[in-house]
Structure 1
Amino acid sequence: MVFASPLVTQCRIVVLLVLCLRGAPSPAPSAGCPERCVCDEQLVVQCSGQRLSSFPTNLPLVTRQLILSNNHIDELPALQLNYLSDLVYLDCSNNSIRDISESTFGNLRKLVYLDLSYNMFLKIEDQAFGPLSSLVMLRLTDNPLLSEIHPTAFAENVALQVLDLSRNNLTTLNVTSLITLPALRSLGFSGNPWNCVCEIEDLCLWMQIDTFRFQGNKITECMGRMRNKWFEKHLENKDNIPDHK
């Protein structure tokens, strides 16, 4: 099976999102718009680059697209965020967010696009993205402190097609986080300090066997090393060596 390049896939998803957002009927927005933000008739709330130090209040409850990029927000309050049950697109990139949990996105069942890149995450907790059953694209890149992702962080994201984990501080990743994603088509791994030892053997073997188009040379190098070690380990019993063609 041949997949489109990750960049083409991402562009198609973003275009589709924009068309859906613009083409959907617009119910009357609730009163008010956050200070220093712009709210339009397409139910888009634009708060990018406004030096916000906290999540904006007084958001229209019918908001479908919320852009909070390039601020100083350090927390996504579950109580306020989950009032936005019609949210489809959420961009929280380039902030100072440190933690998310299952409750953070508990009521965002329609969310399709989520960008959490350029933040300050240390780890991603169990079921952190579990409620996001419609999520198609997740950008979790450029978090220099992010060194741990729980094996079941993405367990319920059956619609997820694009997952970008590039340029974090990941040394290992449990393959369980990925093999249960039936729709996954593009996975970004580049720029992480992968530890090419036995802890990621299962991940490397899965990447060799499966048909995904992976991004990044560093993990490819690890794949090559681990594959050689695995073949050396099982050389005595040739019947156990799978066909990697």
Structure 2
Amino acid sequence: MNVQNHPVVSREEWIAARRQHLAHEKAFTRERDKLSAERRALPWVKIDKDYHFQGPAGELKLADLFGGHSQLIIYHFMFAEGWDEGCPGCSFLSDHIDGANQHLTHHDVAVVAVSHAPYAQFEAFRQRMGWKFDWVSSQGGNFNYDFGVSVRAEDIAAGKATYNYERSDSAEKELPGLSVFYRNEAGEIFHTYSTYARGLDLLVGAYNYLDLTPKGRNEEKIMEWVRHHDRYEKQAPASCCHR
């Protein structure tokens, strides 16, 4: 929308338009609640494979990632072997994890990032970004392939690559996603949900702020303006309270 030639009306006219939009917002909220309930009602798949990961203290199993909680959210962070730094889009999303984690860890939810690269390869990047959340490596196993975020070169060549539950023409071997797991009192683990692509939008709080503004996301291609948070050009403090 062109903000330069935007309609300007009286306060009374604005209130009328806002009330009409509020009705649409409430309808959307009800539909979102319905969708969330539908998501929770999805059937589960029992995890029978013995997945292994590498963390700062050595080898871990999937059960270890729960950290005493019954619910586990795994963010599939794009970081392949040989990369010097993580995907800027995944990093943008990950900038939001620590804030949420302060609360989620007290509400029976663990959040862990998993990448295909060796642990030692992305640990320096994690420290550079200042993140505190747990991040482990799935190198050497099938975890990334089984959950649809890594693609084998032969599958790409054969046109058999899939992403977001559909055949994909992308030549990317690493892609972003999120998977959710539940562990019952008997220690059994179940896969309850996975989402990819635009399904990850809800995790990016900055986008939710932008959606409230006149210019919105203000991008032609998704995340075209996003940089690692230490790569933005330095600007004078914009805070109204700066002294």
Q: Does the pair score TM above 0.5?
A: no
Provide TM-score, normalisation by structure 2. Answer: 0.27
Bigger proportion of residues as helix: 2
Bigger proportion of residues as strand: 2
More relative contact order in 1 or in 2 (CA 8 Å, sep 6+)?
Answer: 2
Which is greater in Rg?
2
